[in-house]
């Protein structure tokens, strides 16, 4: 595969400061893989980095400059000499959270607890708003040969959902079924609703936007713009990050309810924990994903109707227009085509 010495990348240099730049191609180490990016999805995290509002950048863990983009697919351009089972030309996706795999946290599969972790396009490692991205080969996952790479860019958010649902399932018990509410019908909430319905749950999605709820038309998923009737559900997934929604869920959910929190940032707020303790409620937090979740996502996506996610794609050069479209909420997902092939 022909690889040029310079490549285009969007670089964020600080709050509100981003530019499309020509960068020198990074050296491919013996355990590295150089990926030619095909598609990258825009996530709220990208805009939080741009605005300096992401927690990592507030507490000093995250540092500029950085190229964002963690929801992506691509094709292998080069492989390091010690990389096995991956070859040039393979279609792939990549784990966002990358850890040392050696520390006590990693040995117990507590990946988010690894102090050496990096996160592609988020923390300590450049991402896929670029023609090429360099990552350690151990975090790269191959795809079936004829995979639609635009759909494959949804593997990362799907993996985030699947990690959360696996944590939820541990509390509910294997093989459990019942009524589940999903608060928020954005990309994460939509994928969560579809995944729960596929598992046999009776699902109701809540969102203030009739437009987003309209994507469930014709499916078994119920939809509501009013966040009421929360006492009817065995489990509730919060996928907005709204402190008001969270407060209402904590107060109005039924005794014994299991609450899965997938949203951020929620913000600081007063709360009486007797609401949880006195009513046997369980609250589960979940962030990111790991290798097993990404592998599951690769197998899950062909079983889901992804049409709502594929309605708007712009070239990388129009990244500013893509960001503006993201804020309008006219589309469930805005993607950028980098090297669509």
Residues 154, 309 contacting (CB under 8 angstroms): yes
In a domain, 187, yes or no: yes
In a domain, 125, yes or no: yes
Query: Do 10 and 148 belong together in one domain?
Result: yes
Structure tokens at 247: 């407060």
Dump pLDDT digits (tens) for 2-33.
Answer: 777 899 999 999 999 999 999 999 999 999 99
Q: pLDDT value at position 185?
A: 97
In a domain, 332, yes or no: yes
DSSP 103: S
User: Percentage of the chain with pLDDT > 70?
Assistant: 100
In a domain, 121, yes or no: yes
DSSP 238-284: E-S--HHHHHHHHHHSPTT-EEEE-----------THHHHTTT-EEE
pLDDT at residue 111 tops 80 = yes
Dump pLDDT digits (tens) for 258-272.
Answer: 999 999 888 887 888
Query: Do 142 and 113 belong together in one domain?
Result: yes
Q: pLDDT value at position 269?
A: 79
Confidence grade of residue 150 (pLDDT, cut at 50, 70, 90): very high
Query: Do 190 and 278 belong together in one domain?
Result: yes
pLDDT at residue 296 tops 80 = yes
Average pLDDT over residues 233-260: 95
Query: Do 40 and 149 belong together in one domain?
Result: yes
Confidence grade of residue 341 (pLDDT, cut at 50, 70, 90): confident
Average pLDDT over residues 104-126: 94
In a domain, 299, yes or no: no
pLDDT at residue 338 tops 90 = yes
Dump pLDDT digits (tens) for 169-207.
Answer: 999 987 778 899 999 999 999 999 999 999 999 999 999
Query: Do 95 and 217 belong together in one domain?
Result: no
Dump pLDDT digits (tens) for 301-325.
Answer: 999 999 999 999 999 999 999 999 9
**Closest C-alpha to 184, from 263, 266, 282:** 263
Query: Do 37 and 70 belong together in one domain?
Result: yes
Q: pLDDT value at position 273?
A: 87
**Closest C-alpha to 164, from 236, 225, 271:** 236
Query: Do 150 and 22 belong together in one domain?
Result: yes
Cα–Cα distances in angstroms (integers) from residue 3 to residues 69, 121, 133, 143, 315, in the given order: 21, 21, 12, 22, 19
Query: Do 181 and 138 belong together in one domain?
Result: no
In a domain, 294, yes or no: no
Q: pLDDT value at position 227?
A: 97
User: Percentage of the chain with pLDDT > 90?
Assistant: 90
Domain of residue 77, CATH code: 3.90.180.10
Instruction: Read off the pTM.
Output: 0.95
Query: Do 18 and 37 belong together in one domain?
Result: yes
pLDDT at residue 255 tops 90 = yes
Confidence grade of residue 275 (pLDDT, cut at 50, 70, 90): confident
Confidence grade of residue 57 (pLDDT, cut at 50, 70, 90): very high
Query: Do 275 and 252 belong together in one domain?
Result: yes
In a domain, 1, yes or no: no
Q: pLDDT value at position 156?
A: 98
Token pair 């107060």 is at which residue?
251
pLDDT at residue 154 tops 90 = yes
Which helix (H) or strand (E) segment holds residue 106: the answer is helix 104-107
- Measured CA to CA, the distance from residue 224 to residue 220 in angstroms comes to 13
**Which of 34-48, 100-114, 153-167, 259-273 shows the lowest mean pLDDT across its residues?**
259-273
DSSP 214: G
Number of domains in the chain: 2
Domain of residue 214, CATH code: 3.40.50.720
Q: pLDDT value at position 177?
A: 80
Q: pLDDT value at position 118?
A: 96
Query: Do 137 and 248 belong together in one domain?
Result: no
pLDDT at residue 236 tops 90 = yes
DSSP 95: -
229 lies in which domain range? 158-285
Query: Do 183 and 233 belong together in one domain?
Result: yes
**Closest C-alpha to 286, from 242, 245, 239:** 239
């Amino acid at each position: 595969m022909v690889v040029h010495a310079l490549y285009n990348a969007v670089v964020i240099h600080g709050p509100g400061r981003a530019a499309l730049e020509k960068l020198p191609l990074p050296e491919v180490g013996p355990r590295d893989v150089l990926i030619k990016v095909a598609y990258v999805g825009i996530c709220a995290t990208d805009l939080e980095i741009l605005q300096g509002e992401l927690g990592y950048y507030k507490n000093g863990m995250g540092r500029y400059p950085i190229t964002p983009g963690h929801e992506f697919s691509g094709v292998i351009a080069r492989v390091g000499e010690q990389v096995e089972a991956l070859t040039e030309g393979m279609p792939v996706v990549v784990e966002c959270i990358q850890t040392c795999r050696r520390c006590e946290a990693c040995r117990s599969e507590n990946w988010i607890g690894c102090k050496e972790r990096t996160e592609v396009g988020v923390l300590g490692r450049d991402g896929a708003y670029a023609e090429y991205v360099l990552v350690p080969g151990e975090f790269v996952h191959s795809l079936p040969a004829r995979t639609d790479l635009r759909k494959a860019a949804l593997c990362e958010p799907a993996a985030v959902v699947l990690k959360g649902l696996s944590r939820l399932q541990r509390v509910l018990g294997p093989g459990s079924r019942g009524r589940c509410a999903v608060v928020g019908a954005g990309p994460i909430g939509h994928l969560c609703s579809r995944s729960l319905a596929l598992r046999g749950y009776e699902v109701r999605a809540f969102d203030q936007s009739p437009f987003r709820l309209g994507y469930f038309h014709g499916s078994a998923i119920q939809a509501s713009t009013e966040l009421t009737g929360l006492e009817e559900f065995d489990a509730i997934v919060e996928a907005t990050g709204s402190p008001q929604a969270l407060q209402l869920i904590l107060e109005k959910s039924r005794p014994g309810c299991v609450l899965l929190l997938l949203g951020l940032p929620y913000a600081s707020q007063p709360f009486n924990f007797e609401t949880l303790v006195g009513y046997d409620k369980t609250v589960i937090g979940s962030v990111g994903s790991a290798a097993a979740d990404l592998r599951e996502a690769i197998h899950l996506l062909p079983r889901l109707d992804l049409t709502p996610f594929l309605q708007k794609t712009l070239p990388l050069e129009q990244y500013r227009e893509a960001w503006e479209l993201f804020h309008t909420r006219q589309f469930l997902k805005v993607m950028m085509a980098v090297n669509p092939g």
